[in-house]
Structures are given as structure tokens and as C-alpha cells.
């Protein structure tokens, strides 16, 4: 490996002052942080003057790329008019009202009310609280457990982190808390038994979900939460029959279906919502990220009528609806949410995603042939390439070797940013990317893959 350049003044100040999320902080002093200075279109530029294609839309969120003038103008206008107000205590703002109406209009199921949060984690935390509140209103005090899935990602607050099904979010964090169950991950490549077809795999997972519900007792289970395409767990696209197979089991046992659209929502899979692409019929939805194209923090819970009515009943008993975040419904976030949706519609961003999806799929399909790649997965403009030490046996690399992380560093050397998630490299480019830029992103990735292959060989990591 090349020796690393010494840290700049800014990079040293960073290391001494920030606690960086999802970073090997035990090594930060030697690797330093890449300090970003500005962005334009699909590119970001660091303080060392290097340009990168942002192949991850930051954190799956900057769907309109960087420096969109219409978004900037909308932000300035809102900041001048009303930089802050809230929606507590029967107060409101026009941007919050307008965004709630917009969300009701584009939602894939009937929505009664919209509850704003500041983040995806808060949206999912709120979902759990609402499921409890709902069952209390219905006089079902034991129906409180939430089913999530192995490899799910739903955020990091105490409850959202419990719903997340990844070891790093639980180990030494005293999570998951009680009342959370993790069902099977619908990843055929990794979890199918030898010779098991996708149809057999789906049927086994559906049976195992039914068994879990019956073992725990359906009257103890409030909800199941799922991302349509699983993101941070490694971009896992479930078999097409998966949601249609589990949906009736939930309905039969009166279990709410919480759809986590934090990554999938707003065009990423080629439809407004991932549930429409994956054949999932949610009771309620959590949204964030591309809701504002990441120009300001905002999350939202799309509340159906039956849960809303339960909120009304419980509030009558308590004298108030005892929930809310100071910045949930912040006028800046809401104004940018309204503007982002307007842009998605008038620039036909969904059409762009659909038009680019075959190119994206073709490039990832070709990458799957590489000796270091076990499987590639894609849906709309989100995808992943899973690295393996042995293609025939699917044997992964030893996690300590950090091969995917090394690949993402080589990608950076070639002028692009992609994220390693365990053994998988994720792709989630801004939805405004052109075909030429998309091909350039993959060309750079392929060069980095070649570097990784040489590095793996040199270090003898496949033995
Ligand atoms: C599917 C999903 N849900 C929830 C979250 C948590 O959102 P936040 O980081 O805004 O709390 C994320 C974040 O990546 C996510 O991918």
C-alpha cells in the first residue's frame, strides 16, 4: 500500500475535534478524514483540490446532486421569510402544511396525517411508539413486539438501532432492547441452502416468519418493519415473490407493516416508493433523505387513518399528543421538501431513473464476472457488488483484511466515492447523473477493482 501523505492542518484539527460516525476511529489519526469543500452536480471537491464523482449521493440522500440553484433559492427565500417555527401546541407553517399535503398526494396508500421528524432514525422510533400507542388505544397492551430482519438498517437511536440487524450497531451498545425480534434476511445468494431455488427460499422464509409469529404469539406482535431494498445491510434486493409471500401472514395476524422508505423513497427504485417496485403493501411509511434531496434534514411518518384515530383517542385521555421533535417540521426542511418533490415531478426524475436503470444494470452485470465479485445486485439506481475470496464457494474474505474498504480507497484514488458495507461496495449515484457520468463512474470503479485484484494478489489474501 502507498504510504499516506501527512495530514494537513485542517485534517489534524478534524482528528482532534470530531467523533466520526461509521469510521475506524482507532485508525483515524493515521488515515485522516477527507475534508469536503464544495459540490457541483454529481461532483464533490475536497480541500486538497481533488474532484470525485459522488457515487453514493453522500449517504444515499443527495438525489439532486450538489448546488442545485432552485433548491438554493428556495432555501434562501424560506430563511428570509421564516427561518424557524414549529408545529407544537397547535402552531403551524405553510411549508409544513404544503409538504404534508404533497406527501398525502404521492403516497402509495391512503394517508391520514403526516408527522415530521428530523431524521430517519426518529421516524422509525416514532413508528414503534405509534404502534404501541395504537395497541394501547385498542386495549391490546401485550401486542407490542416489533419484527425486523437480520441485516436491516433502520437507524441508530435506542429503538431504531435495535431494529437495525447489524452486529456493529449492537455490539457493546447494549442493543437490541426487549420487544425486538429479527427475522431472516431475504438474500438468496448468501442464505439459500444448497440447490434451493428462489421460490423455495421465499417459501422457507415465509414459513419461518409464520413460525416466529406463532411461537411468540400473534397477540404479542404489533408490527413488522422492512426496507423494500435493504440498503446499509449490503444493497439486498429481495426475490420478487418475497413481499407478496409475507404480506398475507402479517395481515392474517393483524400485524402493522412499517415500510422504511428512507433510502428507497422519491424515485430511487424508478417509482416514487420502493414498495411499489417490490410489491409491498405498507400500513405506514417512514421517509427522510431524498425527501429534501438532503438539502436540509427532515424525516416524515405517513400515518394511516386507524393509527391517527388511536392518537386522537389517547390524546383525549392524556390531554395532549405527547410526542414531537423541536425540528420536526422545520420550515427550511419542509420548504426544501416541497421544492424537491416539485423538481422530481417537473424534471421527470423518475423517468430519468428508469431510463438509466438498464445502463446501471448492464454495468453491474458485467462487474459480476470479475474474479473478486461473488454477486452484484441492483434495482433502479441503487446497487451493490459483493466481494468474495472464492467465487465458486462464495467464501468471503476475512473481515480483518478489509478488502472492500481497501477497494473503496482505490475508488477514491481514481476520482469517485463509493461506500463499502461489509463485503459489499454500494452504488447510489445522484438521480440527475447523465449516462456519460454513470459510465465514467463505473470505468473508475473497474480500474479500482483491477488495483484491488493486484493488491489482494500481492498481499496473498485469497489463500
Ligand atoms: C433505511 C434507513 N432507515 C433509517 C435510516 C436512519 O436515518 P438517519 O441516519 O437520518 O437517522 C437510514 C440511514 O441510512 C436508512 O438507510
320-354 pLDDT per residue, tens = 999 999 999 999 999 999 999 999 999 999 999 99
**pLDDT band at residue 3 under the 50/70/90 scheme:** low
Q: Which CATH class is domain 71-346?
A: alpha beta
195-213 pLDDT per residue, tens = 999 999 999 999 999 999 9
Q: Kindly give the pairing relationship between strand 145-149 and strand 221-226.
A: parallel
Question: Mean pLDDT throughout 33-51?
Answer: 97
**pLDDT band at residue 314 under the 50/70/90 scheme:** very high
> Which residues, 6 or more positions from 43, have their beta carbon under 8 angstroms from its beta carbon?
51, 52, 53, 54, 66
Q: Rounded to the nearest whole angstrom, what is the distance from the C-alpha of residue 232 to the centroid of ligand 1?
A: 9
82-121 pLDDT per residue, tens = 999 999 999 999 999 999 999 999 999 999 999 999 999 9
Q: Rounded to the nearest whole angstrom, what is the distance from the C-alpha of residue 231 to the centroid of ligand 1?
A: 9
Q: Rounded to the nearest whole angstrom, what is the distance from the C-alpha of residue 288 to the centroid of ligand 1?
A: 8
Q: Give yes or no for a cis peptide into 176 (omega within 30° of 0).
A: yes
Give the separation between CA 371 and CA 392, rounded to whole angstroms.
Answer: 10
**Angle separating helix axes 349-367 and 435-459, nearest 10 degrees:** 30
Grid cell in block for residue 138: 385498542
Expressed in angstroms, the distance from the first to the final Cα of the chain is 19
Q: Kindly give the pairing relationship between strand 256-260 and strand 221-226.
A: parallel
Look at the domain 34-67+348-459 and name its fold: 3.90.1150
Residues in a beta bridge with 180? 146
Give the residue whose CA is nearest to atom 8 of ligand 1: 120
Q: Answer yes or no: pTM beyond 0.95.
A: yes
Domain residue spans of the chain: 34-67+348-459, 71-346
| Ligand 1-lining residues (CB < 6 angstroms) | 59, 119-121, 124, 153-155, 227, 231-232, 260, 262-263, 288
Question: Mean pLDDT throughout 181-198?
Answer: 98
Long-range Cβ contacts of 128-132 (<8 Å, 24+ apart): 128/159, 128/163, 128/223, 129/159, 129/323, 130/284, 130/301, 130/303, 130/307, 130/310, 130/311, 131/222, 131/223, 131/256, 131/258, 131/307, 132/222
pLDDT value at residue 163: 98
358-407 pLDDT per residue, tens = 999 999 999 999 999 999 999 999 999 999 999 999 999 999 999 999 99
Amino acid at each position: 500500500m502507498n504510504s499516506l501523505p501527512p495530514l494537513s492542518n485542517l485534517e489534524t484539527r478534524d482528528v482532534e475535534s470530531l467523533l466520526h460516525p461509521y469510521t475506524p476511529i482507532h485508525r483515524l489519526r493515521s488515515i485522516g478524514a477527507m475534508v469536503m469543500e464544495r459540490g457541483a452536480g454529481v461532483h464533490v471537491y475536497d480541500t486538497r483540490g481533488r474532484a470525485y464523482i459522488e457515487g453514493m449521493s453522500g449517504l444515499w440522500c443527495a438525489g439532486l446532486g450538489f448546488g442545485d440553484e432552485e433548491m438554493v433559492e428556495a432555501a434562501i427565500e424560506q430563511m428570509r421569510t421564516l427561518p424557524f417555527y414549529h408545529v407544537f401546541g397547535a402552531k403551524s407553517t405553510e411549508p409544513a402544511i404544503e409538504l404534508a399535503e404533497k406527501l398525502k398526494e404521492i403516497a402509495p396508500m391512503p394517508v391520514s396525517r403526516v408527522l415530521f421528524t428530523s431524521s430517519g432514525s426518529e421516524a422509525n422510533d416514532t413508528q414503534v411508539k405509534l404502534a404501541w400507542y395504537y395497541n394501547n388505544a385498542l386495549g391490546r397492551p401485550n401486542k407490542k413486539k416489533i419484527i425486523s430482519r437480520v441485516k436491516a438498517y433502520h437507524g441508530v437511536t435506542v429503538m431504531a438501532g435495535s431494529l437495525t440487524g447489524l452486529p456493529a450497531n449492537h455490539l457493546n451498545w447494549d442493543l437490541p432492547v426487549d420487544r425486538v425480534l429479527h427475522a431472516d434476511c431475504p438474500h438468496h445468494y448468501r442464505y439459500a441452502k444448497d440447490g434451493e431455488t428462489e421460490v423455495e427460499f421465499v417459501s422457507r422464509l415465509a414459513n419461518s416468519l409464520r413460525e416466529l409469529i406463532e411461537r411468540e404469539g400473534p397477540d404479542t406482535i404489533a408490527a413488522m418493519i422492512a426496507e423494500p431494498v435493504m440498503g446499509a445491510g449490503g444493497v439486498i434486493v429481495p426475490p420478487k415473490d418475497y413481499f407478496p409471500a409475507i404480506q398475507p401472514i402479517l395481515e392474517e395476524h393483524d400485524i402493522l407493516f412499517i415500510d422504511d422508505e428512507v433510502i428507497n423513497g422519491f424515485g430511487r427504485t424508478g417509482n416514487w416508493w420502493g414498495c411499489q417496485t417490490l410489491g409491498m403493501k405498507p400500513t405506514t411509511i417512514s421517509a427522510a433523505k431524498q425527501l429534501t434531496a438532503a438539502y436540509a434534514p427532515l424525516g416524515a411518518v405517513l400515518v394511516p387513518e386507524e393509527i391517527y384515530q388511536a392518537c386522537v383517542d389517547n390524546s383525549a385521555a392524556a390531554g395532549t399528543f405527547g410526542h414531537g421533535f423541536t425540528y420536526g417540521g422545520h420550515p427550511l426542511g419542509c420548504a426544501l421538501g416541497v421544492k424537491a418533490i416539485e423538481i422530481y415531478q417537473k424534471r421527470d426524475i423518475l423517468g430519468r431513473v428508469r431510463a438509466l436503470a438498464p445502463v446501471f444494470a448492464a454495468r453491474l452485470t458485467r462487474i459480476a464476472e470479475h474474479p473478486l465479485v461473488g454477486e452484484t445486485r441492483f434495482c433502479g439506481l441503487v446497487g451493490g457488488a459483493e466481494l468474495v475470496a472464492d467465487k465458486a464457494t462464495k467464501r468471503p474474505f476475512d473481515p480483518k483484511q478489509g478488502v472492500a474498504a481497501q477497494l473503496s480507497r482505490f475508488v477514491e484514488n481514481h476520482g469517485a466515492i463509493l461506500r463499502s458495507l461489509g463485503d459489499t461496495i454500494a452504488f447510489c449515484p445522484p438521480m440527475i447523473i447523465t449516462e456519460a457520468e454513470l459510465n465514467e463512474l463505473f470505468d473508475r470503479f473497474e480500474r479500482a477493482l483491477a488495483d484491488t485484484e493486484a493488491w489482494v494478489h500481492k498481499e496473498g489474501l485469497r489463500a
